[in-house]
Chain A
Amino acid sequence: DVVMSQSPLSLPVTLGQPASISCRSSQSLVYSDGDTYLHWFQQRPGQSPRRLIYKVSKRDSGVPDRFSGSGSGTDFTLKISRVEAEDVGVYYCMQGTHWPFTFGPGTKVDIK
Chain B
Amino acid sequence: QVQLVESGGALVRPGGSLRLSCAASGFTFSDYYMSWIRQAPRKGLEWISYISDSGSSTNYADSVKGRFTISRDNAKNSLYLQMNSLGAEDTAVYYCARTARLSDNWGQGTLVTVSS
| Interfacial residues, chain A to chain B (CB-CB below 8 A) | 31, 37, 39, 47-51, 54-55, 60, 92, 94, 96-97, 99-106
Q: Which residue of B lies closest to A6 (CB)?
A: B44
Report the separation of the CA atoms of residues A47 and B47 in the bound assembly, to the nearest whole angstrom. 18
Neighbour of A103 across the interface among B44, B102, B106, CB < 8 A = B44
A100 with B47, Cβ < 8 A, contacts A37-B101, A48-B108, A49-B106 known: yes
Whether A39 contacts B103 by the Cβ 8 Å rule is yes
Find A48's partner among B44, B100, B101, B107 (CB 8 Å cutoff). B107
6 closest pairs, A vs B, by CB? A96-B101, A103-B45, A101-B47, A100-B61, A48-B106, A37-B101
Whether the pair B107, A101 counts as a contact (CB closer than 8 A) is: no
**Chain A interface, >50% SS class:** loop
For B16-44 the 0/1 string (1 means CB < 8 A from A) is 00000000000000000000000000001
A106 to B47, CA, bound (A): 15
Interface residues of B (CB under 8 A from A): 44-47, 59, 61-62, 95, 100-109
A-B contact count (CB 8 A): 50
Most buried by B among A39, A92, A100: A100
Of residues B44, B61, B62, which shows the largest number of chain A Cβ atoms within 10 Å of its Cβ? Answer: B44
Residues of A within 8 A of B59 (CB): 99-100
Tell which of A47, A50, A103 has the most Cβ of chain B within 10 Å: A103
List residues of chain B with CB within 8 A of the CB of A103. Answer: 44-47
Contact residue among B61, B95, B100 (Cβ-Cβ distance under 8 Å from A49): B95
Chain B residues lying within 8 Å of A60, measured Cβ to Cβ, are 104
Closest A residue to B35 by CB, please name it: A101
| B61/A92 in contact, CB under 8 A | no
- Residue from the set B44, B62, B101, B104 with the largest chain A CB neighbour count within 10 Å: B101
Q: Do B47 and A102 touch across chains, with their CB atoms under 8 A apart?
A: yes
